[in-house]
Amino acid sequence: MASAIQKIALNASRDIPFNKLVLSQSNVRRVRVGLSIEELARDIERRGLLQSLNVRPVLNGEGAETGAYEVPAGGRRFRALELLVKHKKLAKTAPVPCVVREAGSAILAEDDSLAENVQRVALHPLDQFHAFRDMLEKGMSEDEIAAAFFVVPAVVKQRLRLMTVSDKLLEIYEQDGMKLEQLMAFSISDDHTRQEQVWEIVSQSHNREPYLIRRMLTEKTVRASDRRVRFVGLDAYVAAGGHVMRDLFEADDGGWLDDPTLLHRLVMDKLAGAVEEIRTEGWKWVETALSFPWGHARGFARIEGTPVVISEEEVARLTALHSEQETIEAEYAQADEFPEDIDIRLGEIEQAIEALEERPVSFDPANMARAGAFVSLDTDGTLLVERGFVRPEDVLVEPEDGHDAPESYDDAVAHHRAGNDLEGIGTEDAPGTEPEEEDGLKPLPDRLLTELTAWRTLALRDAFAANPHIALTELLHTLVRDLYWQVSGADCLEAYVRDIPLRVHAPDMPGSIPAHALRQRNEGWKHDLPEDEEALWLWLDRLDDTSRLALLAHCLSFGVNALYERMPPYGAVSQRSVSERLARADRLSTALRLDLAEAGWQATVENYLGRVTKARILEAVREARGDEAAERLLEGTGWLPEALRTPISADKPTDVPAADIAAE
């Protein structure tokens, strides 16, 4: 016969006068976050108590009930009711709905309090949007909704903007197919068809940042000099049915393409073809995007390739090109400028020489099977292929000297002690035990060993400070190992540069002049470094002082931080520290005489004009001609927003020519 299923009994609920309730010391909430007690009190005053208090009988010393009840779960509601009583908006004896846990329950009061706080699920933003929308449709205004939930009206407006988003995209978000920031980016446009087209494009790309979505939705025209146009080709765009708005006074690459959607499709189709061709090389994975976020390869290892040996035919071709170049330059050495056809020919020769001298690289097929490539567009519209990156999970860990790698710290210590030829590595003898007689000397006690190495450390510091050359060598050794080998474990010199990730950045930054310069400098040093890490210290020691200082500056550059940060609640960074950081960045910029205009930054609709208030755009064009007209007027002027301007130093460097100082 089947046994009957045990039925549970829920705790009884009843109304208890407020003056019979006391706050329990078992309530686990200590830190006050979220809605304030005052705001909660106003909410209860407006709509009443929505959730009962969880209470238990208060017992006297003999274990008998006293008639009072403690509140272990619902402390904030209790304090809000207490505030209403204090302000005489609620009677002291007002009945309060409570769920009563029986005295002597096996479930602790702290258990109830913790469960009530951690077992709740925050409302999904889409559910909040639906609720706001329903309330709006039933007659409440945006301000009334904001007041009811103690948020600023901007929060309500932001959620209600989701009404402009395609139902298809809302469904994708509901199924965790995109992030809230991405969904909100689509609300900038009311065109559902265009929204879905943009999502189809970005969903196939590695880069799905909200700024890219907003840019694609708001982009009405694309300049003919844009890298996407150069990649596809203006003729291909026109052949596909696209139209170009021309200006008679524009240069050859002038004009604007008025169908960004068509251009995006052509770009993605051509990129897809290039990706398939690169995939056939044998890579494990290939990721593509118009541009990858800065630092996209952070955390990846990289395999080294071997330059393909130049053939005899290529050597002969290179010799002939150099000979032709020298002949032309000698023939026109006295001329003020080259004739147009000669100038074109010299450009062709230089490109051909560069193509022959920049040797392609071949990779080991076994390494390619665990590595991949990033494919994007360079600033000049050419295909940028970064090969040989290995994801962390695919990195091979090779044991040293043919031995198995230690599995734990204890194994590592045992392995070190077993293989150490020097005496003096040992442990403290266990109390109450006599060491066994051995032929050799017994290990030194740990305490003594620590004291001896402390003495050695002090003397080493003194010798280190007295020898700047060795000090710089050791510093470079530590920084270079961290940058290029990512070696884990402690080092003798406790010095490091914290690489600051630039997670939020403009889309034009990865292809900018500083980004190119940093990549080229990084690859140049990587090429010069010895392949064997063991040979690194000697290589650095023999390096000339100018090169040592240049390498030091390169390693330190990754730690430069001039970022503005918003201050999150309970964050580790304060507003004061950020202000001090920016002030020191101003000082560094002044010392370096940094000019962002010379570095390639230029105000565009995408990176500034389309993202600021109209009051910050040129008065002459803000109403009459719009953001893109402002971009055209600012082009080439070197204008910079306040955040990018370098402060002018009151003390001029002595090496600045007097004419330059007067010009400033």
Name the residue among 95, 76, 91, 65 with its Cα closest to residue 38: 76
Instruction: Taking residues 581-599, report their average pLDDT.
Output: 85
Residues pairing with 389 in the sheet = 302, 372
Residue 563 pLDDT class (50, 70, 90 cuts): confident
Handedness of CA 285, 289, 293, 295 (dihedral sign): positive
Inform me whether the pLDDT recorded for 441 exceeds 70.
no
Buried-exposed string 631-651: b where 16+ CB fall within 10 A, e elsewhere: bbebeeeebbeeebebeeeee
Asked if 196 contacts 166 with a C-beta cutoff of 8 angstroms, the reply is yes
Q: Among 254-258, 433-437, 477-481, whose mean pLDDT is lowest? A: 433-437
- Reduced to 3 DSSP states, what percent helix, strand and coil does the chain have, rounded to the nearest 5? 50, 10, 45
Instruction: Taking residues 8-27, report their average pLDDT.
Output: 86
Residues pairing with 286 in the sheet = 373
Inform me whether the pLDDT recorded for 654 exceeds 50.
no
Specify the 3-state DSSP secondary structure of 155: helix
Asked if 643 contacts 582 with a C-beta cutoff of 8 angstroms, the reply is no
According to the model, what pLDDT value does residue 60 have?
A: 87
Dihedral of the alpha carbons of 458, 464, 465, 470, in degrees to the nearest 10: -170
Span 109-126, pLDDT tens digits: 888 888 887 777 677 778
According to the model, what pLDDT value does residue 504 have?
A: 64
Residue 320 C-beta-side C-alpha neighbours within 13 Å: 7
Inform me whether the pLDDT recorded for 364 exceeds 50.
yes
According to the model, what pLDDT value does residue 660 have?
A: 42
Distance of CA 648 to the CA centre of its chain: 31
* Total length of the chain: 664
Residue 355 pLDDT class (50, 70, 90 cuts): confident
According to the model, what pLDDT value does residue 91 have?
A: 93
User: What residue type is assigned to position 639 of the chain?
Assistant: W
According to the model, what pLDDT value does residue 21 have?
A: 93
User: What residue type is assigned to position 629 of the chain?
Assistant: A
Residue 278 pLDDT class (50, 70, 90 cuts): very high
Asked if 558 contacts 498 with a C-beta cutoff of 8 angstroms, the reply is no
According to the model, what pLDDT value does residue 270 have?
A: 92
According to the model, what pLDDT value does residue 463 have?
A: 82
Specify the 3-state DSSP secondary structure of 375: strand
Q: How far apart are CA 195 and CA 614, in angstroms?
A: 25
Name the residue among 107, 8, 104, 109 with its Cα closest to residue 53: 109
Residues pairing with 376 in the sheet = 384
The domain ranges of the chain are 13-118
DSSP sequence for 515-540 = HHHHHHHHHHHHHHS-SSGGGHHHHH
Parallel, antiparallel, or unpaired for β 95-100 and 256-257?
A: unpaired
Residue 429 C-beta-side C-alpha neighbours within 13 Å: 9
Inform me whether the pLDDT recorded for 489 exceeds 70.
no
Distance of CA 134 to the CA centre of its chain: 37
Supply the pTM of this predicted model: 0.49
Inform me whether the pLDDT recorded for 626 exceeds 50.
yes
Inform me whether the pLDDT recorded for 655 exceeds 50.
no
Query: Which position has the token pair 């950045």?
Result: 505
Inform me whether the pLDDT recorded for 100 exceeds 80.
yes
- The number of beta carbons lying within 10 Å of the beta carbon of residue 473 is 19
Percentage of the chain modeled with pLDDT above 90? 14
Buried-exposed string 476-511: b where 16+ CB fall within 10 A, e elsewhere: bbbbbebbbeeeeeeeeeeeeeeeeeeeebbbbbbb
CB-count burial class (<10 Å; 0-12, 13-18, 19+) for 324: middle
Q: How far apart are CA 157 and CA 560, in angstroms?
A: 38
Span 178-232, pLDDT tens digits: 888 888 888 888 888 888 888 887 887 777 888 778 877 877 778 888 888 999 9
Inform me whether the pLDDT recorded for 252 exceeds 60.
no
Name the residue among 643, 649, 645, 611 with its Cα closest to residue 630: 611
Specify the 3-state DSSP secondary structure of 433: coil
User: What residue type is assigned to position 58 of the chain?
Assistant: V
Q: How far apart are CA 295 and CA 510, in angstroms?
A: 9
Inform me whether the pLDDT recorded for 402 exceeds 60.
no
Q: How far apart are CA 309 and CA 360, in angstroms?
A: 9
According to the model, what pLDDT value does residue 507 have?
A: 67
Instruction: Taking residues 169-186, report their average pLDDT.
Output: 88
Instruction: Taking residues 518-540, report their average pLDDT.
Output: 85
Q: Among 263-267, 353-357, 626-630, whose mean pLDDT is lowest? A: 626-630
Q: How far apart are CA 42 and CA 47, in angstroms?
A: 9
Name the residue among 519, 513, 522 with its Cα closest to residue 599: 513
Inform me whether the pLDDT recorded for 513 exceeds 50.
yes
In terms of phi and psi (left: phi > 0; alpha: psi -120 to 50; beta: otherwise), the region of 388 is: left
Handedness of CA 135, 141, 142, 148 (dihedral sign): negative
Q: How far apart are CA 76 and CA 78, in angstroms?
A: 5
Q: How far apart are CA 605 and CA 621, in angstroms?
A: 13
- The number of beta carbons lying within 10 Å of the beta carbon of residue 358 is 9
Distances from the Cα of 14 to the Cα of 11, 53, 95, angstroms: 10, 10, 9
Q: Among 50-59, 226-235, 393-402, whose mean pLDDT is lowest? A: 393-402
Higher model confidence: residue 165 or residue 648?
Answer: 165
Instruction: Taking residues 301-323, report their average pLDDT.
Output: 87
Instruction: Taking residues 514-529, report their average pLDDT.
Output: 85
Parallel, antiparallel, or unpaired for β 95-100 and 13-17?
A: antiparallel
Residue 35 pLDDT class (50, 70, 90 cuts): low
Q: Among 76-80, 84-88, 281-285, 433-437, whose mean pLDDT is lowest? A: 433-437
- The number of beta carbons lying within 10 Å of the beta carbon of residue 474 is 19
Q: How far apart are CA 3 and CA 8, in angstroms?
A: 15
- Is the domain defined by 13-118 classed in CATH 3.40.430.10? no
Residues pairing with 71 in the sheet = 23
Higher model confidence: residue 350 or residue 508?
Answer: 350
Parallel, antiparallel, or unpaired for β 361-362 and 306-307?
A: antiparallel
According to the model, what pLDDT value does residue 87 have?
A: 92
Q: Among the residues of 332-440, which ranges form H helices? A: 340-357, 365-368, 409-419
According to the model, what pLDDT value does residue 157 have?
A: 81
Question: Which H, E and C letters describe 454-485, residue by residue?
Answer: HHHHHHHHHHHHCCHHHHHHHHHHHHHHHHHH
Inform me whether the pLDDT recorded for 149 exceeds 50.
yes
Mean of the per-residue pLDDT values for the chain? Answer: 78
